[in-house]
Homo-oligomer: A and B are copies of this chain.
Amino acid sequence: MPNLAKQKNAAGKLIEFGMIRHTADEIAHRNHTDKGERPLRFQGQGKLLLALSQEDGLSQKELATRLNLTVQSTAEFVNKLVKKDLVTKEKSTTDRRKTIIRLTDQGRAAAETETAKVPEFLTTLTDTELDQLTSILTKINANLYDEINTADDTKSSKVQQAVSDWLRDWFL
């Protein structure tokens, strides 16, 4: 029987982490672009960016299905991203109904800084700590996948699966 107190400690730290992270990159983004640009991350436009950096040149429909969004929402996000010069839209030549979305260099860069960049706060950890953290997170993530897949109404999970595959490619 694992120690409840220890669980609570960890839980508290995790919450704290979430909170601090949140304001930390709120500040980072504020200094960066002052007005406009908000965190993005794993919703809406950010989600699109992530999906595209996993596989570029998808159609809007494809994106919508992968991200579990309606085509209209997807269109909205795509258009917003186009305005920000992070993606481009072009009609498919093989099927002229389709619109193919591609990351611009800027978009790719944006997606990468959202992810690939090693956050500052990890650089002060020792190798041992990094290993520990990685293995713990692996376990936790596996749990979360389970949680999702069991509770799931046959939606959402594929997204995560896809993106996490991409992460695996990227980091291992």
Interchain CB contact under 8 A, B127 and A3 = yes
Chain B nearest Cβ from A81, distance in angstroms: 19
B17 touches A171 (CB 8 A): no
- Residue among A11, A24, A141 having the largest count of chain B Cβ atoms under 10 Å: A11
Identify which of B132, B134, B139, B141 contacts A20 (C-beta below 8 A). Answer: B141
* A160 touches B (CB below 8 Å): yes
CB distance from A22 to the nearest CB of B (A): 5
Mask, A119-148, CB within 8 Å of B = 1, is 111111111011111111111110111011
Task: Indicate the size class of the contact surface on chain A.
Answer: 35 or more
Q: Could you tell me if A156 and B27 are in contact, using CB atoms closer than 8 angstroms?
A: yes
Given the interface pairs A42-B22, A137-B17, the reply to whether A8 lies near B171 with Cβ below 8 Å is: yes
Interface contact B6-A134, CB-CB below 8 Å: yes
Nearest residue, chain B, Cβ from A18: B42
The answer to whether A167 and B16 touch across the interface, beta carbons within 8 angstroms, is yes
B13 with A156: CB separation less than 8 A = no
Give the shortest distance, in Å, between A59 (CB) and chain B (any CB).
23
Once the chains are docked, how many angstroms separate the CA of A137 from the CA of B163? 25
Q: Which residue of chain B lies nearest to A143 when distances are taken between CB atoms in the complex?
A: B121
Which residues of chain B have C-beta atoms less than 8 A from A135's C-beta?
129
Tell which of B12, B123, B132, B172 touches A2, judged by Cβ atoms closer than 8 Å.
B123
Whether the pair A147, B127 counts as a contact (CB closer than 8 A) is no
**Which among A124, A131, A171 has the greatest number of chain B C-beta atoms within 10 A?**
A171
